[in-house]
Structure formats: structure tokens, C-alpha cells
Amino acid sequence: MTITYNDTLKDLPIEQLHHLFVAVGWSDDEPLPENLKKGFMQSWLNSTLVVSAWDGDKLVGAVRVLSDTIFRSIIHDLLVDPDYQGKGIGKKLVETCIAHYPDSEWLVGLDKKNTGFYEKCGFKQTLETGCFMVIPCKLF
């Protein structure tokens, strides 16, 4: 299986993206109402960076980032198709994001079941970081 990564396409195919949200249990399997569909796509289009993972033309993983590109960057909505989990795709998506703004502080919301995954990606949880896991800014 060859997985390819795209860090320029923000306008991901909405049906496939929604399928990923359903597959990881973040959304029910009902068709999105029009207003929600528009907002859902806007949140990806308006993100600073979107990285996606593909098996041919099948979307198998995605992540979006809000960033000032220098000091602070926040990871949102990292998800990998359950059939493709455990193959390094999630880590590669995160590494690709970090490579774009390598000096930035990186934050992700603390989620107990994924703490180990984010530690493997270089994030740390400390008393000071509160409800985030963090990679410190390299500039100060």
C-alpha cells in the first residue's frame, strides 16, 4: 500500500471527509444539512494548513492547523481511517504539519486516549501546559 500526502489541497472532497468523521465516531452517518456542510468545509478552507493522506484517490487521513506561522500553531481534527490506523499515517501527518512551521510552539488539546500518540510526535504534557500538550517554541 502506497500512501501519498498532500499539503496544498484544502478543498478536500466533503463526502470522503465526512466519511472519515463518521468512521472515527465524531459524526453520525446522516447527510449533513446544507448550512452545516458549508460551515464544515469553511473550517477546513479557512485553516492555515491542511495535510491529507491518500491511498490512490481514497482519503484516508487528514489534519488541519490554525497558525500565525511563527510563534503559535494549533492542531485540530487529526483523524485517520480506522482501517489505516497503526501504519504511521497519523504521525506522518503531524510531522508534515510541524515541518511547515518548525520553530513555532505547537499545541494540541489534551485527549487522554491519545496522549501516548502525541508523545511519540514530540508533544509533552506538563503542569504549566494545562489542557494542552505542547512542543515549545524554538525562538525563545
Does position 32 interact with ligand COA (CB under 6 A)? The reply is: no
Q: Which is nearer to ligand COA, 96 or 104 (CB)?
A: 96
The arrangement of strands across the sheet holding 58-67 comes to 3-6, 49-55, 58-67, 72-80, 105-109, 132-135
Site residues for ligand COA, 46-85, by CB under 6 A, read 78-80, 85
> In terms of Cα–Cα distance, which of 39, 49, 40, 65 is closest to 10?
49
The residue sitting closest to ligand COA, measured at its beta carbon, is: 90
Residues forming contacts to ligand COA in the complex (CB under 6 A) are 24, 78-80, 85-91, 108, 111, 113-114, 116-117, 120
